[in-house]
């Protein structure tokens, strides 16, 4: 009796109990095996699992395609489209510069042939007068003996300056008959130049009369006469600048055309290799489930704990990279490009306006040239390209199975 009780107690101990840990482990394992077998036997359950993973793969593939189309692919990316636009603008700019070089050469050739000889003769006389006047004043300041020939030459050059300035317009009009387009008839017509011309005339008359009194008992006032000498030299220089202002503007126009360099869009490149790897890993996991080498439990655990988190992290990273390295950079490039274009054409048309001020009222040469610039042409949109973007709005996939 005692032996039987002992055996029964041993058999019913926790180690061999029907509800012991080992038995529970076997039951749990058998339960999961049964579930896996059910997943394999029940076609609907298996297809539902496969379809859910396929949804995730499809969303991932659409995201890849969108990024490839708009960012990565050379044929369709936004960077390529902007580069094509940049090249089109470059061709337009080259045409514009070529056209304006032709304008410059035509205007410069006409100036050098008909206007420059008159301007050079007048400015040469004024420069000679300014040099002699400086020499005479210096001799007065140092009480140096001045030859009467030098004094006579100065008076002659000053008189010649006045005569040539007053005859300048008639001389210019006499040559304007050779060409009625791009002819600078108004070299001295600005308000400032007319005022300089009047002041120079009255100053020359007064100084010539003063100079005619030497040598005499007249005394040289170092303070007053030095100030008048400085004023005279300033007027001669300013009058020379007035006569040469048109040629200066022409030369500045040419130099500016030579210096023009088109702004460039920044190059934006992007690699999405890690996105490709995520998709391949998910496909491999699904392939293992379908061929029986991967359990649904392992599929679920791997997807929820590894692949989904990694895919989500990589997608967020690629989206931020696209924003920062591509779209923000291209947006800044577009803004700079727009500012550059505005600056270029503002400068170009301001030059037209500046040059037109020298032309006669009937001279429409510059206006006609400005109206024929390619910038005024209306852009034509081509619908022949097959590379039409199909923007698809993707909601963030969940991936829960």
Cβ–Cβ under 8 Å, residues 164 and 187: no
Q: Is pLDDT above 70 for 400?
A: no
pLDDT at 19: 43
Confidence of residue 3 (pLDDT cuts 50, 70, 90): very low
Look at residues 168, 233, 155 and name the one whose alpha carbon lies nearest to residue 200.
Answer: 233
Cα distance between residue 262 and residue 95, in whole Å? 13
Q: What is the CA radius of gyration of the chain?
A: 46
Number of other residues whose CB lies within 10 A of the CB of residue 73: 14
pLDDT at 219: 65
Cβ–Cβ under 8 Å, residues 161 and 243: no
Mean per-residue pLDDT, 68-81? 75
pLDDT at 343: 93
Cβ–Cβ under 8 Å, residues 204 and 165: no
Cα distance between residue 232 and residue 207, in whole Å? 9
Six token digits for residue 331: 């947006």
DSSP 377: S
Cα distance between residue 336 and residue 331, in whole Å? 9
Answer with the residue of higher pLDDT: 339 or 147: 339
Per residue in 180-214, pLDDT (tens digit) is 789 998 888 889 999 999 999 999 998 888 888 77
Per residue in 109-120, pLDDT (tens digit) is 999 999 999 999
Say which range, 59-63, 160-164, 243-247, has the weakest mean pLDDT.
59-63
Q: Is pLDDT above 60 for 6?
A: no
Q: Is pLDDT above 70 for 162?
A: yes
Mean per-residue pLDDT, 308-335? 80
Per residue in 228-254, pLDDT (tens digit) is 888 999 999 999 999 999 999 999 999
Confidence of residue 225 (pLDDT cuts 50, 70, 90): confident
**pLDDT > 90 fraction of the chain, expressed in percent and rounded:** 30
Cα distance between residue 158 and residue 138, in whole Å? 17
pLDDT at 41: 59
pLDDT at 382: 59
Per residue in 258-314, pLDDT (tens digit) is 999 877 766 666 666 677 788 888 888 888 878 877 777 788 888 888 888 888 888
Look at residues 97, 107, 105, 100 and name the one whose alpha carbon lies nearest to residue 358.
Answer: 107
Number of other residues whose CB lies within 10 A of the CB of residue 111: 19
Cα distance between residue 137 and residue 304, in whole Å? 99
Confidence of residue 333 (pLDDT cuts 50, 70, 90): confident
pLDDT at 251: 96
pTM: 0.68
Q: Is pLDDT above 90 for 51?
A: no
Q: Rounded to a whole number, what is the largest CA-CA distance in the chain?
A: 168
pLDDT at 35: 63
Say which range, 56-60, 294-298, 333-337, has the weakest mean pLDDT.
294-298
């Amino acid at each position: 009796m005692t032996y039987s009780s002992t055996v029964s107690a041993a058999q019913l101990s926790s180690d061999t109990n029907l509800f012991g840990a080992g038995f529970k482990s076997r039951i749990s394992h058998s339960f999961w095996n049964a579930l896996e077998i059910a997943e394999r036997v029940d076609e609907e359950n298996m297809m539902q699992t496969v379809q859910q993973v396929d949804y995730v793969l499809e969303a991932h593939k659409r995201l890849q395609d969108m990024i490839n189309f708009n960012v990565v692919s050379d044929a369709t990316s936004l960077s390529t489209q902007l580069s094509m636009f940049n090249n089109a603008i470059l061709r337009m700019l080259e045409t514009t510069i070529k056209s304006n070089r032709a304008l410059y050469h035509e205007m410069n050739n006409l100036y050098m042939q008909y206007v420059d000889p008159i301007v050079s003769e007048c400015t040469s006389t004024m420069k000679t007068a300014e040099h002699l006047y400086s020499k005479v004043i210096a001799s007065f300041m140092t009480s140096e003996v001045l030859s009467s020939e030098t004094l006579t030459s100065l008076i002659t050059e000053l008189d010649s300056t006045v005569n040539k300035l007053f005859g300048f317009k008639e001389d210019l009009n006499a040559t304007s008959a050779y060409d009625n387009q791009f002819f600078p008839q108004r070299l001295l017509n600005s308000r400032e130049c007319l005022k300089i011309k009047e002041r120079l005339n009255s100053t020359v008359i007064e100084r010539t009369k003063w100079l005619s009194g030497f040598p005499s008992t007249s005394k040289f006032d170092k303070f007053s006469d030095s100030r008048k000498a400085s004023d005279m030299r300033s007027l001669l220089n300013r009058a020379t600048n007035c006569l040469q202002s048109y040629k200066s503007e022409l030369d500045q126009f040419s130099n500016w055309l030579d210096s023009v360099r088109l702004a460039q869009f920044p190059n934006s490149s992007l690699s999405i290799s890690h996105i490709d790897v995520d998709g391949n890993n998910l496909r491999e996991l699904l392939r293992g489930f379908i061929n029986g080498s991967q359990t649904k439990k392992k599929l679920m655990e791997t997807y929820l704990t590894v692949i989904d988190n990694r895919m989500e992290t990589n997608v967020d990273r690629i989206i931020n990279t696209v924003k920062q390295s591509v779209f923000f950079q291209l947006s800044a490039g577009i803004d700079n490009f727009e500012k550059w274009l505005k600056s270029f054409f503002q400068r170009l048309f301001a030059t037209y306006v500046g040059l037109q001020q020298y032309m006669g009222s009937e001279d429409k040469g510059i206006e006609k040239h400005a109206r024929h610039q390619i910038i005024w042409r209306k852009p034509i949109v081509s619908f022949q390209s097959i590379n039409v973007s199909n923007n698809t709005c993707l909601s963030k996939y969940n991936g829960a199975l």
